[in-house]
Amino acid sequence: MNDVNLSPWDTALRIHEYSEPGSSEFKSSELLINILRYKGFNVIDHYLGIETAFRATKKVGSGKPSVAFLAEYDALPGIGHACGHNLIASAAAFSAIRTAEIISNGTVNVIGTPDEEGTGRWSGSKIIMAEKGAFKDINLVLGSHPSDEWSVGRRSLLVRDYAVEFKGFSSHEAASPELGRSALDAAILTYTAVNMLRQHVRRDANVVMHGIIKEGGKASNVTPDRSLLTYGIRSSDPDYHGTIVEKFRTIVDGCAKATFTDYEIREIGPLFSITKINPTLSNYIRNKLIEMNVACPTLQETWSLPPGGSTDFANVSQVVPALELDFQVARRGTPWHSNESLKAAISDMARKSLNIVIRVLSETAKYFTDSEEFRDNIRRDFIDDPMK
């Protein structure tokens, strides 16, 4: 079969097979580019200088308004598409293709956004794109994400990652232990103190702190003179996130003093924001799902649940009206980033859900181009932020 004639499902399977980690999705992006070019889209490769990013555009009629579908296609290192980004890629490309076929006026865009998982050079590429003004000429952004249920308006957590390096002084652990300054002790003390902090944070701020000790010494009889920790700190409250980060920095400083070591804290990658929810857009898409006999919780029901993850899509939602539709590909309770979710990304349920997503997103885009009132209501929600 010619690659440019692949079906949505075959495209998803092909990208699942490629299983390319973030910032290295060369074959996956090329496949999507070739399909979109064949369908009449003009494509900018290496978009904004990002090697595996692209922007595909097709103008219909007046070219106004402008709608963008966001494609992700990075896999998780070592396990593959256990987050189902192969489905996101196909949904974006074919939602755009269908939209261009059914609208009378508008510009349809597909923006290829690498490395959502944050594992490579272009970690959180949507954040880079948003900061560089990629969405200034876009009126609406639509995306999707596999899940164990259907939902609209799911909240996300703000997150920033940090690297902490402690520097001590090596010495023989038996002959001259009094001369050593253990960087490993500083790391262990920090890890323990951060765990203690978990008990004393605001519950309503959904604080999550997760870290590992990446390096702690080379030999058991030598005082470790270097240790390295990495931490992710998350919260649903941006202001309180800053408070927690300051507490974290104070802990690191205190543990360094207690172990007579030096330290350095570095921010790793960009800041992933919280998602701005648009009620008009969320409710419209939910109604479309109900029309197709897809059970979907109300926006209020979804909003009442604690946020469980972070995404660079959130940063896009802060600069332009946007929605990421969660669609079911696995049984409820399936752990994500697991072998179970890896298999779910190529399951029969995923195939059926992909077709629904393409239809719902393209018809939402069509209504957006047709209805000035719909556009005005979405814009009003974006400005007023009623879910804040």
Q: What does the chain come to in residues?
A: 388
Helix 348-370 vs helix 279-291: angle between axes, to the nearest 10 degrees?
120
pLDDT of amino acid 2: 65
Q: Residue 212: in which H helix or E strand, if any?
A: strand 208-215
Using omega within 30 degrees of 0 as the cis cutoff, is the peptide bond preceding 65 cis? yes
* Phi then psi dihedrals of residue 98, to 5 deg: -65, -40
Give CA–CA dist 23/51, Å, rounded.
7
Give CA–CA dist 26/22, Å, rounded.
10
Give CA–CA dist 242/264, Å, rounded.
18
Give CA–CA dist 172/97, Å, rounded.
67
Helix, coil or strand: residue 260:
coil
Give CA–CA dist 114/372, Å, rounded.
33
pLDDT in tens, 117-156: 988 999 999 999 999 999 999 999 999 999 999 999 999 9
Strand-by-strand arrangement of the 262-272 sheet: 208-215, 226-235, 158-167, 262-272
Q: Of 326, 320, 328, 322, which Cα lies nearest the Cα of 281?
A: 322
Q: What does pTM read for this prediction?
A: 0.93
Query: What distances in angstroms separate CA 381 from CA 369, 374, 375, one per listed residue?
Result: 17, 11, 10
The pLDDT tens digits along the chain (388 residues) read 468 999 999 999 999 999 999 999 999 999 999 999 999 999 999 999 999 999 999 999 999 999 999 999 999 999 999 999 999 999 999 999 999 999 999 999 999 999 999 889 999 999 999 999 999 999 999 999 999 999 999 999 999 999 999 999 999 999 999 999 999 999 999 999 999 999 999 999 999 999 999 999 999 999 999 999 999 999 999 999 999 999 999 999 999 999 999 999 999 989 999 999 999 999 999 999 999 999 999 999 999 999 988 999 999 999 999 999 999 999 999 999 999 999 999 999 999 999 999 999 999 999 999 999 999 999 999 999 999 8
pLDDT in tens, 75-108: 999 999 999 999 999 999 999 999 999 999 999 9
Alpha-carbon dihedral sign for residues 11, 43, 67, 80: positive
Structural domains in the chain, CATH included, are 3-155+274-384 (3.40.630.10), 158-272 (3.30.70.360)
Give CA–CA dist 301/310, Å, rounded.
19
Q: Of 276, 328, 318, which Cα lies nearest the Cα of 297?
A: 328
* Phi then psi dihedrals of residue 351, to 5 deg: -60, -45
